[in-house]
Structure 1
């Protein structure tokens, strides 16, 4: 019998890719306030429940899971302080609701809470999990608050939780407003790109590589409980190199206006994460080829995927 996996907030880009990658191994249930019925029609075996995650609890009648992955969050690069209330609701309140629902569940082996590599701030790359966080945006600050809460639940109440800090995810099904899909789409259409100087570097990770790593963490859950773990490639690539690789792969003649936009205030110039802890837990060396994956992404978008 397959183990049961709950994806909280699993109706979005990351959740869809986790379903696609992990469905053969787990019996998966998705809980979200929006479910893409067209997409999930491909996977009739996946159970889907519509619910307001910050306001409702999963019914006590639902069969207990072996694993929970909490993806619920508002993701934004905005620095608007007015976003705090909505972000706290979509992060901290969801976590506490889930804790209250599953705190006495003896079957639960691992609860995976999503943090963010942006919690580290902009100094000290490569970032290791032992470093003090210095978040410089409302999003990163709320993520840090949620991470600290998750660790408190483990320390004080032995709740089997861990925090995953992803690199910059990209891959199939990602919204076109995100950086890599936006760049590929604009280049394919021959449209000019107005961007920053793009010297900032990011630790990108392809959706399939990320899903593989998450699967490995579930397999090694006894070593993951109570830990904060970076899940990324361990390498950083400049946004300019990403654009130029995409321009070459699409054979585009689009004009790229570097420096047309300013950097954000207190911009992170090199966001690279150490993956030593991840390697130690899953007993595998991380060797993800981001540039090869970028070519795959271009091919998928060329095919209309």
Structure 2
């Protein structure tokens, strides 16, 4: 028995792969196209591990996906593969349409054909789990209740619109063809191996490099923060016992404004790696022009997952963010290796060209 993981060299996917093999001897095939955010350094500890089969390729490559399904006969497919940064989708939406919508379609078609040829017992036990985001639900005001699984989809960026479309395709393949699917919609993840374009790793990396800490607008955008290893445990639980065709929201019960996140990171760095001049890292904070269509608040109600599958996060934000900052302090080689020329060009385009 084995599983097929797509996008398993990205931030969440790689953490899932590492956790899966740490907790199980069941092997997996890891399919990843290795864009700028796909990083095999994250999986270096698995070099030589026969349980991990890495294949470079895209979910949009129907022939390759079909070949892998036929050769390895996985009992489940877990789809992490996606273009995933809102800012990048604003600058270049086409990649998001191709990967998140067209790619998901090709993956679904290949999986449907494979599933249709399985023997009855294997057909009954097979699962496809699609990993999505809370951003498909749009934005909340300060006092609105958190997103539930029945909240109307109101995506506000090319990224979230493309993910919403992929969610709808997955749902349609269940209701039209009977494909045994599960969908999870998660809140903002953070933790080890996070590519330093997202808020938390960017603040840590810039602070240590003596650079400015760019905060969009007034910094009062609110997000629910989920430690990535908690997300991995939720996915395993949904895969194990989730009801077919259902959606499960995964959140950390940690709503915080962005500026509070930045202040927390600065305080931890002041404690763990003080600046040579004795000043606080908070002196590096700079407010920059907000991005277009920036959603004001996301909040996940994960009570369905807790009620039906007995899952809840193990980490508080306080314990998770301390582990995260310490990990970046202890793994500077990894940070240096992922900061390619493409990444530096992106940071300059997205932040340095904004007016402070």
Q: TM-score, normalised by structure 1?
A: 0.90
Matched, 1:200 2:221: yes
The CA distance in 2 between the partners of 1:102 and 1:30, in whole Å, is 15
Q: 2:320 maps to what in 1?
A: 293
SS of corresponding position for 1:62:
helix
| C-alpha contact (below 8 Å) 1:84/1:142 kept by paired residues | no
Tell me the alpha carbon deviations over residues 177-201 of structure 1, each in whole angstroms, 9 at most, x when there is no partner: 2210111122233433232321111
Q: 1:189 maps to what in 2?
A: 209
Aligned length: 300
| C-alpha contact (below 8 Å) 1:194/1:261 kept by paired residues | yes
- 204, 217, 233: which one pairs with 1:212? 233
Give the superposition deviation at 1:285. Answer: 4.0
Matched, 1:174 2:174: no
Q: 2:82 maps to what in 1?
A: 73
When residues 284 and 40 of structure 1 are mapped into structure 2, their CA distance, relative to the original with a 3 A threshold, is: closer
When residues 183 and 102 of structure 1 are mapped into structure 2, their CA distance, relative to the original with a 3 A threshold, is: same
- 103, 108, 115: which one pairs with 2:132? 115
The CA distance in 2 between the partners of 1:303 and 1:5, in whole Å, is 31
Matched, 1:237 2:240: no
When residues 82 and 200 of structure 1 are mapped into structure 2, their CA distance, relative to the original with a 3 A threshold, is: closer
| C-alpha contact (below 8 Å) 2:181/2:245 kept by paired residues | yes
Matched, 1:29 2:35: no
The CA distance in 2 between the partners of 1:145 and 1:159, in whole Å, is 17
- 183, 188, 193: which one pairs with 1:163? 183
Tell me the alpha carbon deviations over residues 55-109 of structure 1, each in whole angstroms, 9 at most, x when there is no partner: 3332054121111111111112238667443212201222222222221423352
The CA distance in 2 between the partners of 1:126 and 1:195, in whole Å, is 24
Cα RMSD of the aligned pairs, angstroms, is: 2.1
Give the superposition deviation at 1:296. Answer: 0.6
Matched, 1:153 2:211: no
Matched, 1:275 2:274: no
Q: 1:40 maps to what in 2?
A: 43
When residues 284 and 71 of structure 1 are mapped into structure 2, their CA distance, relative to the original with a 3 A threshold, is: closer
SS of corresponding position for 2:288:
coil
SS of corresponding position for 1:115:
strand
The CA distance in 1 between the partners of 2:310 and 2:230, in whole Å, is 16
| C-alpha contact (below 8 Å) 2:234/2:311 kept by paired residues | no
- 290, 298, 301: which one pairs with 1:263? 290
| C-alpha contact (below 8 Å) 1:202/1:239 kept by paired residues | yes
The CA distance in 1 between the partners of 2:40 and 2:313, in whole Å, is 34
When residues 267 and 110 of structure 1 are mapped into structure 2, their CA distance, relative to the original with a 3 A threshold, is: same
| C-alpha contact (below 8 Å) 1:168/1:202 kept by paired residues | yes
The CA distance in 2 between the partners of 1:286 and 1:42, in whole Å, is 26
SS of corresponding position for 1:111:
strand
Structure 1, 152-161 or 84-93: larger mean CA deviation: 84-93
Q: 1:302 maps to what in 2?
A: 329
Q: Structure 2 regions of 5+ residues with no counterpart?
A: 275-279, 333-356
- 57, 81, 93: which one pairs with 1:51? 57
| C-alpha contact (below 8 Å) 1:125/1:270 kept by paired residues | no
Q: TM-score, normalised by structure 2?
A: 0.78
SS of corresponding position for 1:147:
helix
When residues 180 and 80 of structure 1 are mapped into structure 2, their CA distance, relative to the original with a 3 A threshold, is: closer
The CA distance in 1 between the partners of 2:291 and 2:44, in whole Å, is 40
The CA distance in 1 between the partners of 2:226 and 2:170, in whole Å, is 24
| C-alpha contact (below 8 Å) 1:204/1:233 kept by paired residues | yes
Q: Structure 1 regions of 5+ residues with no counterpart?
A: none
The CA distance in 2 between the partners of 1:250 and 1:183, in whole Å, is 10
